[in-house]
Amino acid sequence: MNKQMNIAIDGPAGAGKSTVAKLVAEQLSFLYIDTGAMYRALTYAALKEGVELTNGQALNHLLNGLTITLQHEKSGVSVLLNDEDVTEVIRNKDVTANVSLVSSHESVRLEMVERQRTLADKGHAVLDGRDIGTFVLPDAKLKVFLTASVEERARRRYEEHQAKGIVSDLEQLKNDIAKRDELDSTREFAPLKQAADAIVIDTTTLSIPEVADSIIELAKERAI
Ligand code: CDP
Ligand code: CDP
């Protein structure tokens, strides 16, 4: 299999990357690789172990001792950190507030990117993240950059929280998202950036199936 036969989906928080990537992967029988979950798993481990989050070397040392598995099951994808199921806990407020700092370190990213390329090596995978089209898979046959207004992205997160019974404040969510986007876009190494050859889809007024269908159509056009 050719590793160019992969689909890269990048964009800011709440643009719909993971929901849409999962759907596209399901419909094309591709493997779904949530690269954000890997950075979140490391952040969770670092907070638990009390590792200084500004210390890239210490984080990388911690990462080298960790196995992060994206386990595909009928019900969805579970994230395992060594043997611990961290699928839910890596979405908590603490991890979300610190993940951009952890993922800003070059040494951490290089190790993660190596793991991600290995996972995508057989081709026929959909990867979502921030640097997939620009750095992880620069030769991917299809690159999509999903975006939406920050108001809409905050509203989506708010609804997600409401559905889960998590108390949250819309304005606060908007500020948190904007802050994370700013950190992700301005970091020195492999920042969040649209690849020159990416197709941009503004999802602000689009439904999930509409976005997924557009990507599947593009994949078919490119004979992926
Ligand atoms: O789902 P959400 O957009 O909230 O975030 P995520 O995809 O789970 O990613 C969490 C964080 O991990 C991002 O804010 C980035 O700081 C980092 N990340 C990254 O740097 N590179 C990636 N390829 C994926 C995520
Ligand atoms: O992965 P990312 O942070 O880019 O976004 P997500 O977690 O896939 O989507 C955030 C929320 O927006 C989810 O609750 C989706 O169901 C919702 N969504 C939506 O309402 N409309 C879209 N076109 C895409 C996502």
Domain ranges, residue 96: 6-216
List the one residue out of 40, 23, 21 whose CA is nearest residue 133: 21
User: How many domains would you assign to the chain?
Assistant: 1
In a domain, 197, yes or no: yes
Q: What percent of the chain has pLDDT over 70?
A: 99
In a domain, 181, yes or no: yes
Nearest CA to ligand 1 atom 18: 36
- CA 118 to chain CA centroid, Å, is 16
Q: Ligand 2 center to residue 56 CA distance, Å?
A: 30
17 is in an annotated binding site: yes
Instruction: Determine contact, residues 18/10, Cβ cutoff 8 Å.
Output: no
Task: Determine the average pLDDT of the residues in 21-45.
Answer: 97
- Residues lining ligand 1, Cβ inside 6 A: 13-14, 18, 35-37, 39-40, 99-100, 103, 129-131, 180, 184
In a domain, 223, yes or no: no
Q: How confident is the model at residue 4 (pLDDT cuts 50, 70, 90)?
A: confident
The pLDDT of residue 74 is above 90 = no
Nearest CA to ligand 2 atom 14: 160
Adjacent-strand bridge partners of 80 = 69, 85
In a domain, 224, yes or no: no
List the one residue out of 112, 136, 96, 97 whose CA is nearest residue 3: 136
The pLDDT of residue 31 is above 60 = yes
Q: Ligand 2 center to residue 153 CA distance, Å?
A: 8
pLDDT-wise least confident of 2-11, 46-55, 84-93, 110-119: 2-11
pLDDT computed for residue 172 by the predictor: 96
- Is this complex scored with an ipTM above 0.95? yes
In a domain, 222, yes or no: no
Nearest CA to ligand 1 atom 9: 36
Q: How confident is the model at residue 2 (pLDDT cuts 50, 70, 90)?
A: low
- Per-residue pLDDT tens for 139-152? 999 999 999 999 99
Instruction: Determine contact, residues 53/103, Cβ cutoff 8 Å.
Output: no
Higher pLDDT, 74 or 142: 142
Instruction: Find where tokens 């993940």 sit.
Output: 99
Instruction: Find where tokens 């994949």 sit.
Output: 219
The pLDDT of residue 1 is above 70 = no
Task: Determine the average pLDDT of the residues in 148-157.
Answer: 98
The pLDDT of residue 95 is above 90 = yes
pTM of the predicted model, to two decimals?
0.97
In a domain, 185, yes or no: yes
What CATH number did the domain enclosing 186 receive?
3.40.50.300
Tokens of 218: 């593009």
The pLDDT of residue 176 is above 80 = yes
Instruction: Tell me the average pLDDT of the chain.
Output: 96
Task: Determine the average pLDDT of the residues in 192-209.
Answer: 98
pLDDT computed for residue 213 by the predictor: 98
The pLDDT of residue 3 is above 70 = no
75 is in an annotated binding site: no
- Does the beta carbon of 14 lie inside 6 Å of ligand 2? yes
Q: Ligand 1 center to residue 129 CA distance, Å?
A: 6
CA dihedral 114, 38, 188, 56 (to 10 degrees): -90
Q: Which of helix, strand or coil describes residue 3?
A: coil
